Amino acid sequence: MKRRDFIKAIPAAALAPTAVSTVTMSANAAPPKTATPQSGNTHVVEAAGKASSATSGSGEVPEFAEHILTSDMDGLGPDGKPNGQTATFSGASKANATADSASSKMELNDDEQAILDGKEGPEKAKLMKILVRFGETFGATKLADLGGAPHSNLYIGAPYLESLIVMLEQCAAAGLKAYAPYTVNPRPYDVYNVQNNPTEMQLIAEGYPLQMRLDAVHAQLGAPDLNFRSCACYIDDIGNAPKPGTPVAWCESSAVNYGNSVLGIRTNRYGAGMEMLCAMLGKAPVFGLMTDEGRKAKWLIDVKTSEEPDWGVLGTAIGRKCVEDIPYIAGVDKYFGGDVNNDNWHKLKYMGSATAAAGAVGCYHVEGVTPEPKEKGRDMLAENFQTYVFDDKEQQAILDTFENLWDDPDGNPTAVFIGCPHCNYEETIRWAKMFVDALDAAGQEKLAIPAYIFAPTVTRTRALLEEPELASRALGAGINVTNMCGVSYSGMKGFSQRVRAVTNSAKNRNYSPIRYFPDKKLVDIAVTGKV
Amino acid sequence: MAKTFKGRPIVPGNLEGEALVSKQPFNTTASYFTNMFAGNTKDAPCTDANNAELYKKDLSGAIMCTPQTVGSTMGAGAIMGMNLLGVGFKAMLFSGHIDSIAAGGLIMDDVWNDRKVITVDLLGDEFMEAVKTGDPISIKEDGTVEVG
């Protein structure tokens, strides 16, 4: 089967936007089919796995599913076939783990034990019990006191997430809060700047019936208002950038690997829900990427391209090669001038987010650029590391796997998507200027097709205040700044029938039927409306 | 002839039934589209077309045998959601190390909601080589799994 011909997997961000369930789950709506097996008793399960033809509810797989593509480390190769990839998502493969040795015994301090014993209420005791069992599963022997602030990617009010949402509501009702005001991924839609049309409004209403409940419980647990929603929580305008070495528990693959790698914080790569549990306890088990050993690189990525690499292609290549193991990337320090700043950070953002989408990379080291290799050099390489050379030929080979997946592959593009993850202020302004300058050079007032720059609302507002002339010109030219999740928008029902999009994000390309192009080409496409 | 394997109990329990096997890593979120998005509570036909062994088969109430789960970080929520609907697995048996996404969902649902999907990991590659769909399976709470 050709890659992406049918359902592959669900990108974390694209699960909800496409939901069209007409049957909303509720805690009492669907009793279990059989008694739940209990420890100490033996229950008999009848044969499962028989061919299934009948369904209840609305039955058939909704059509949007055909346009939801690959997912974080889905174990598929570029040809769409299973490649045997596995990962624990904890930052380091545990190929040698055995049943007898893999678990640990958590040593709790008096305060932690008191929580487990219920001294701070039954809800917190349950959370602690979960965390201890989870940590012991991955060999942790202690809990870290978390610092900085949490970041959550539980941002989709889809019906199937009700069980998690109810758990958060019960915690909020018990008076629990996160240990610090925290950040959350952007909403999966923007009904003000993009989706204020009847078709998409209806899809949003059907797809996110729990959105307000989720947003409300986040507010109760300590999240700031929706203007601060962003997947790039660490940019200046959002400000969730803990100091190097700070232990946190973040969830959002691109933020986790930017935080670990560029900020130097320490977080594992959590599944949605666990990060909120850690946030309410202010604790996380110490294993994987939170340990010195777990942050050592098993791969040396030797970049030998004749020019500056395409960062998204490089990230895709690394993700496919390393899966979840940490890469040590050499040969690119000259493109950073010795420092990561607001004008060049996006290179790491696009590379890193692609490693986490094509693979499950939770941390990467860039020689001469990111903090740990700057301090320790190649001591960050683990023993017996492997080497992967990324040269012009390899870059082209990876790029050649980026298929044209438009429903009408010969049609003209209809939209340009910039940013995924979110842009910061500098990148937003830079793209707006690039488009406007190109229009001026071409003698045009408006872009041939609309451009969407994905950035948080606070960044959009700042651009309006600090660059009013440019902002006005850009808006009139069809350049929109939207705060929603770009991947979610691309996962909307019928998206590929309505939109033939082009993007600068290899992450979004990994999840969606969007074509990937270099920056200059994207500007040209926006001005001319043609590839 | 029955073969016995010793793994690590993640969610301990005793259970007997038939195996449902995915030799390739099971993609949690890709497999439940009719349940996640179409309100299906009657059964759980596998929607992952890339999984030739399971595609269109009913996953509901199965004893899933697979190396590991893969896919979206929303997988923990999906596992809990399927259990809420009553179409989740009765047991999950992994030859490899459980991943943190599945572990989070299974442990959260066990402790918070008292919904137990008996789970054993690290059963070893030989387990996956030995087990076939339809094989009788017996799981003990100490992580012992008997096939055949």
> In chain A, positions 144-183, which contact chain B (CB-CB < 8 Å)?
153-154, 156, 158-164, 167
Which pLDDT does position A52 carry in this prediction? Answer: 54
Q: What are A410's two structure tokens?
A: 């010969």
* pLDDT tens, residue by residue, A424-481: 999 999 999 999 999 999 999 999 999 999 999 999 999 999 999 999 999 999 999 9
**Closest CA–CA distance from residue A141 to any residue of chain B (Å):** 16
Quick one: CA dihedral B5, A76, A18, A313, positive or negative? positive
The C-alpha atoms of residue B90 and residue B117 are separated, in whole angstroms, by: 5
Contacts of B104 (CB under 8 A, 6+ apart): A134, A270, A271, A273, A274, B76
Vertex A281, ends B90 and A150: CA angle to 5°?
100
**Closest CA–CA distance from residue A431 to any residue of chain B (Å):** 30
CA-nearest of B54, B65, B89, B62 to B7 is B65
* pLDDT tens, residue by residue, A11-65: 333 343 222 222 222 333 333 333 333 344 444 544 456 665 444 454 555 554 4
Asked if B95 is an interface residue toward chain A (Cβ–Cβ < 8 A), one would say no
- DSSP codes, B73-100: TTHHHHHHHHHHHT-S-SEEEESSPPPH
Which pLDDT does position A513 carry in this prediction? Answer: 83
Q: What are B120's two structure tokens?
A: 């054993």
Asked if A3 is an interface residue toward chain B (Cβ–Cβ < 8 A), one would say no
Asked if A190 is an interface residue toward chain B (Cβ–Cβ < 8 A), one would say no
Which pLDDT does position A440 carry in this prediction? Answer: 97
Which pLDDT does position A4 carry in this prediction? Answer: 40
* pLDDT tens, residue by residue, A171-189: 999 999 999 999 999 999 9
The C-alpha atoms of residue B55 and residue A223 are separated, in whole angstroms, by: 40
Asked if A280 is an interface residue toward chain B (Cβ–Cβ < 8 A), one would say no
AA identity, residue B106: L
Q: Which residues are registered as beta bridge partners of B63? A: B19, B91
Quick one: CA dihedral B58, B64, B66, B70, positive or negative? positive
Number of H helices, E strands in chain B: 4, 10
- Rounded mean pLDDT of chain A? 86
**Closest CA–CA distance from residue B95 to any residue of chain A (Å):** 10
Helices (H), A390-515: 392-399, 425-442, 457-466, 468-476, 486-490, 495-498, 506-511
Q: Judge if ipTM > 0.90.
A: yes
Contacts of A33 (CB under 8 A, 6+ apart): B60, B61, B86, B87
> Angle of helix A519-528 relative to helix A425-442, nearest 10 degrees?
50
> For B22-34, what is the mean pLDDT?
85
Tokens 């601060």 found at? A228
Q: Using the predicted structure, report yes or no on whether residue A401 has a pLDDT greater than 60.
A: yes
Quick one: CA dihedral A205, A478, A311, A462, positive or negative? negative
Kindly determine whether residue A130 and residue B112, on different chains, have CB atoms separated by under 8 Å: yes
Quote the pTM value. 0.89
Query: Using an 8 Å Cβ cutoff, are A132 and A181 in contact?
Result: no
